[in-house]
Amino acid sequence: MAEERETPEHEKQERVQKALARMGYGSRREIERLIGEQKIRINGQLAKLGDHVKAGDKINIGNRRAVISSDVGRIRVLIYNKPEGEICTQKDEKGRKTVFESIGQLQSGRWISVGRLDINSSGLLLFTNYGELANKLMHPSSEIEREYAVRVNGEVTDDIVKRLLKGVELEDGLLKFDSITDGGGQGANHWYNVTLKEGKNREVRRLWQSQDVRVSRLIRVRYGNLTLPRTLKLGRKTELSLDEIKALFDFVKLEWPESRDAMAKQRSDKAKNLSIKNQLYGSGSRAKTSRSGGGHKHKAGLRKKAKSVQSKVKSKHR
């Protein structure tokens, strides 16, 4: 019986939304929405839900172009401490600063924001270039817990806390906090830490407002297993290490692509070899300067010696 031929990487096919999400062009849901709006073409043809692509296929996503690759480059995840006043969109018609301007662009692919924070909120905001991870972190079925530090203005009674934990019927359904912890404070302003597993628009603010309690500060301090580092200042970012990214994959039950380990080892070995070379020989420019300087010294010494010999010959003839 003949053995089955394993399909080469460049011949493997996958659904267009999965491929583009893997390459960092958006979450699967976002790609599906763009397909529905007829904004994606595959090799010149309008894409349909369920269409498959393979490595080398040319994709148009609105005004952007992409070529399907069999694998995406290095998987990256950022934690950004968003300040108030920045908005979570790629561009703003009113000219307001966006979080994407603050974190900078990637050479290939793009950053995907994991959820959003409104303009008046601050704190932990996650970005990744790996769409599958972003999709897992945002999808309601994952039930990823978010934690917020909230400063409220107004009296918060035990009955209000009970109602917020039991659930409040709002225009988009029954919303509730999973936990409410007293964070201290004086006078009318008081801090609470709240957790919930959904990411509906302005959910935390709307829940408190339903009880006639005004939110004056809102800071996201945790998303799943990732906590906002105390040393990370507002408007600054920090990148997760390979081990931290792997732990995040485990947390959301997403299979880690083994090819990443080989790629990471190659980068590590290259950096290590470069470091050893620099320690032994110095940087190329310094080594060149050193050799060049040594040559000038040697030539100067020869000229001086020649001049000395000529002087001796002249004095002898005299």
How many structural domains does the chain have? 3
Instruction: Provide the pLDDT confidence category of residue 90 given band limits of 50, 70 and 90.
Output: confident
Catalytic residue among 51, 57, 92, 118: 118
55 band by pLDDT with thresholds 50, 70 and 90: confident
> With pLDDT > 70 as the criterion, what percentage of the chain qualifies?
77
- Considering the domain architecture, whether residues 247 and 272 belong to the same structural domain is answered as no
For 115, the 3-state DSSP assignment is coil
CATH code, domain carrying 62: 3.10.290.10
Residue 56: Cβ within 10 Å count = 12
pLDDT at 234: 96
Write out pLDDT tens, residues 20-34: 877 777 778 889 999
Distance CA 122, CA 150 (A): 11
Q: Regarding beta strands 214-223 and 122-128, do their DSSP bridges make them parallel or antiparallel, or are they unpaired?
A: parallel
User: Which of 208, 235, 260 finishes a domain?
Assistant: 260
Structural domain that includes position 289: 261-293
The runs of H, that is alpha helices, within the chain are 16-22, 28-36, 99-103, 131-138, 158-166, 203-209, 242-251, 259-281, 284-317
Residue 192 one-letter amino acid: Y
Residues 194 and 101 in one domain: yes
Q: Are both 240 and 126 inside the same structural domain? A: yes
Q: Which residues pair with 40 in a beta bridge?
A: 61
Using 50, 70 and 90 to split pLDDT, how confident is the model at 277?
A: low
Q: Are residues 29 and 81 in the same domain?
A: no
CATH number at residue 206: 3.30.2350.10
* Residue among 251, 234, 232 nearest 243 (CA): 251
Task: Please give the Cα distance from 291 to 133 (Å, whole number).
Answer: 51
Q: Is 118 an annotated catalytic residue?
A: yes
Higher pLDDT, 183 or 70: 183
Indicate the DSSP class of residue 26: -
Say whether both 247 and 276 belong to one domain.
no
**Listed residue (226, 210, 155, 212) closest to 177, CA to CA:** 210
In this structure, are 269 and 256 located in the same domain?
no
Higher pLDDT, 295 or 18: 18
179 shares its domain with 271: no
155 part of a folded domain = yes
Give yes or no for residue 70 having a pLDDT over 80. Answer: no
**In which residue are the tokens 């792997």 written?**
246
pLDDT of residue 189: 85
